Structure 1
Amino acid sequence: MDGLSLQIALRKWCELLDAHAGRDKILRITGFICTLLSDLPGTRNTPLAKKFLTVGRQISNSRTINRLFDDLPMLNRTLSYGIGSSEKDQIIRISNLISNVINTCYYPLEHLAWFGDQQLLAVESKTFWRGVSYCWASTMYLAIVRTVRTISMLIQHRQHTLHSGKPSDSDIMKFRRGMLQELLSLMQQMSDMGIAVNSIPGFLWGGKLKPRHIGILGIVSTFISLAKLLRLVP
C-alpha cells in the first residue's frame, strides 16, 4: 500500500471514529470479537478467556451508557415518520409504525434496567432487561418482514419489466444493486435476530447459543453495517 492509500485509509478511519454511529459500530464489533475469542478451543476456560469476556462486558456497558442519550433522537425519528402517509406499501408502513412504538419503549426500559443494575432505583432489573430483549427481537422480526417485502417487490418489478419488453442495462444494474443491498440487510437482521432471541431464556433458542456463536453473528451483523456506513456496498 502506497503513502497516498495509507493517507486515504487513515482519513476514512478517523471520519468513522469521529461520528457517533461509526464509533459505536467499532465498539460493537470489538466487543463481539472479544466474545468470539473467549470461546475458541485455544482460549476456552482459561484466564485469557476471562480477560476477553471482561473487555467485552465493559464495551457493552459503555454502549449502554451512550444509549442513555438516544431517547430524543429516537423520538425525533418517530415524529418525523409520523403515520407514514408517504409510504406506498401498507405492509412496510404498518411494520414501521409498530417498530417506532417498540423502539420508543426500548430506551426507557433499558434505562430503568441500567438504573436497577447500578442500584440507583429500587427496581428488578432482570424484568426490564427481559423487556428490552423482547423489544429488540420484535423490531428485528419486523425489519426482516420489511426486507422480505422489499425483495418481493423488487422481484415483481423485475418480472413486470421483463414482460413489458427487454430491460435496459440501467434497469438490470438497479435490480442487482437493490437485491444485493436487501440481501445484505436480511443477513444483518437475521444475525441480530439470532442474538436477540438468545437473550430471552426459554424462548425458542434463547440461552442455547455458545459465546462463539454470538460472536460470529455479531461480527457478521456489525461488519455489514460498517460496510454500509463506509459506502462499500454499491
Structure 2
Amino acid sequence: MDGATVAEFLETYRGRDKIYRLISYFSQFVASGLDKLGHTQSASRLESLGSALSACRVVLRLGDDLAMWQVTKAYGLGSQVGHPVLRMLGIVQNVFDQLYYPLEHIAWACDVGVLKRPSAFWWVASIAAWAGSLLTSLITKLVKLTQLNLAIARERTATLPSSTSAASSAHPIASSDDEDDDEDEEEDGGTAAAAASVTYSARQPQGKVRFDTVPASTLRARGHSSEYASLHRRNTPRPTTTPQQPSLKTQRRHLLLELVQHLADFGNAVHWMPPGFLWGGKLSQLAVGFNGVLSSLIGLYLMLARYHQQLRNRNAN
C-alpha cells in the first residue's frame, strides 16, 4: 500500500481503532518486560499510554450501538444462512454483541460519575458478553473450517480426472496455458466456493461492528459486506458489478488466522473475569499483553487484506 492508501485507511474509524488497540496492548507488553528488568519509570509511562488509549477506545464505542443494531436487524433469524447450526450461532452471537455495548456504556458511566453506583458488576457483565461472543465465534469458525476442508477435498477429487487426462495427452514441452498455473494456484476455489455454498462470513468478534465507511467520494468499506475476495482466472470475462469470489484456500487461511485471534482474545476475556472462574485473574501482565498484540496484529492484517482487495475491485471496475 502506498502512503495515500494508508492515509485513507487511517481516516476510517475502524482503521484508527485497530492501530490504537495494537499500541495499547504493545505498551502493556513492553511495560511488563521493562518492569521485570527494573526500569519502573519507563514501564509506568508505557502503562499510562496503554491505559489512555484503552479509555479512548471505550469512549469511541459509545456510538456503536446503532451500527450494531443495523447488523443484527439485517441478519434477523439468519434465513440467508443455509446451515442450521451456523444460523443459530449467528443469532446467539448477535445477542451477545448487542448486549456488550450498553453494558460497557453503563460501566463507563459509573466510572466517570454519571451514574452513582459501583461499576464492577457492569464491567464483569460486559466482559462476559464479549467472552460469549468470542466463544460463539470460535464454534462458528470451526464449523466453517470443517465445511471448507470438505469443499476443498471435493474440489480436489473433482479436478483429479481432468488433470490426469490432460497430463497423459500433453506434449513433453509445456503448453502456454501451463505458464499460468502458479499464478492461478490461489485462485482455484472461486467456482467451487459458490457451488459448495461455503460463503465466508466476515463477522468481527467481540461485538465490534464491521469495517466502517470511508468518505463517500472513495470506497465504502464495511467489512461485513466485502467477503474475502480472490482474483478471477485470466481471460475469463466477468460483469464488472459481480464481486470477485474468494478461493477456498484463502478462506481457510483467514479462518485459521481468526481462530488464533479469537483464542487470544478469549484468553484475556476469561482472565478479566472474577478470580475462581476458570483462569480468571491468573494470567501475567506479560501474557495479557502478548495475547493482545497477537490478536491485534492478526486483526489488522485481515482488515488491511480486505481493504486492499476492495481497492483492487474498485480499480478493476
- How many residues in Structure 1 have an aligned counterpart in Structure 2? 227
Q: Distance in 1 between matches of 2:60 and 2:261?
A: 22
Kindly provide the amino acid, as one letter, of the partner of residue 129 in structure 2: C
Instruction: Decide whether aligned partners of structure 1 residues 213 and 9 sit closer, same or farther in structure 2, where only a CA change above 3 A counts.
Output: farther
Q: Distance in 1 between matches of 2:38 and 2:70?
A: 44
Instruction: Decide whether aligned partners of structure 1 residues 44 and 187 sit closer, same or farther in structure 2, where only a CA change above 3 A counts.
Output: farther
Establish whether residue 184 from structure 1 lines up as the match of residue 178 from structure 2: no
Instruction: Decide whether aligned partners of structure 1 residues 125 and 182 sit closer, same or farther in structure 2, where only a CA change above 3 A counts.
Output: same
| Equivalent residue number for residue 5 of structure 1 | none
Kindly provide the amino acid, as one letter, of the partner of residue 17 in structure 2: D
Q: Distance in 1 between matches of 2:55 and 2:99?
A: 20
Q: Distance in 2 between matches of 1:163 and 1:53?
A: 54
1:39 and 1:49 in contact (8 A); partners too: yes
Query: 3-state SS of the aligned residue for 2:125?
Result: helix
Tell me by how many angstroms 1:153 deviates: 0.4
Kindly provide the amino acid, as one letter, of the partner of residue 180 in structure 1: R
| Equivalent residue number for residue 13 of structure 2 | 20
Q: Distance in 2 between matches of 1:200 and 1:50?
A: 24
1:43 and 1:49 in contact (8 A); partners too: no
Instruction: Decide whether aligned partners of structure 1 residues 104 and 146 sit closer, same or farther in structure 2, where only a CA change above 3 A counts.
Output: same
How do residues 62-211 of structure 1 correspond to structure 2 at under 5 angstroms? 62-164=56-158, 166=160, 170-171=188-189, 174-202=247-275, 203-211=277-285
- Bigger Cα Rg: 2
Instruction: Decide whether aligned partners of structure 1 residues 102 and 161 sit closer, same or farther in structure 2, where only a CA change above 3 A counts.
Output: same
Kindly provide the amino acid, as one letter, of the partner of residue 221 in structure 1: S
Kindly provide the amino acid, as one letter, of the partner of residue 253 in structure 2: L
Tell me by how many angstroms 1:44 deviates: 5.2
| Equivalent residue number for residue 31 of structure 2 | 38
| Equivalent residue number for residue 290 of structure 2 | 216
Kindly provide the amino acid, as one letter, of the partner of residue 24 in structure 1: D
Tell me by how many angstroms 1:206 deviates: 1.3
1:38 and 1:44 in contact (8 A); partners too: no
Moved more, 109-118 or 11-20: 11-20
Kindly provide the amino acid, as one letter, of the partner of residue 118 in structure 2: E
More helix by share: 1
Q: Distance in 1 between matches of 2:6 and 2:156?
A: 43
Q: Which residues of structure 1 form unaligned runs of 5+?
A: 1-7
1:187 and 1:221 in contact (8 A); partners too: yes
How high is the TM-score relative to the length of structure 2? 0.67
Q: Distance in 1 between matches of 2:79 and 2:95?
A: 16
Tell me by how many angstroms 1:123 deviates: 2.3
How high is the TM-score relative to the length of structure 1? 0.90
Identity percentage of aligned residues? 29
Q: Distance in 2 between matches of 1:73 and 1:53?
A: 31
Any idea what the Cα deviations from partners look like across 1:78-108, whole Å, max 9, x if unmatched? Answer: 0011111000111111111011111111111
Kindly provide the amino acid, as one letter, of the partner of residue 288 in structure 2: I
Q: Distance in 2 between matches of 1:214 and 1:118?
A: 25
Any idea what the Cα deviations from partners look like across 1:111-161, whole Å, max 9, x if unmatched? Answer: 110010111112220000000110011100001001100110011222333
1:37 and 1:43 in contact (8 A); partners too: no
Tell me by how many angstroms 1:40 deviates: 0.6
| Equivalent residue number for residue 314 of structure 2 | none
Tell me by how many angstroms 1:195 deviates: 1.1
Q: Which residues of structure 2 form unaligned runs of 5+?
A: 164-184, 193-229, 231-246, 310-317
Query: 3-state SS of the aligned residue for 2:105?
Result: helix
| Equivalent residue number for residue 226 of structure 1 | 300
Kindly provide the amino acid, as one letter, of the partner of residue 37 in structure 1: V
Instruction: Decide whether aligned partners of structure 1 residues 44 and 110 sit closer, same or farther in structure 2, where only a CA change above 3 A counts.
Output: farther
1:201 and 1:207 in contact (8 A); partners too: yes
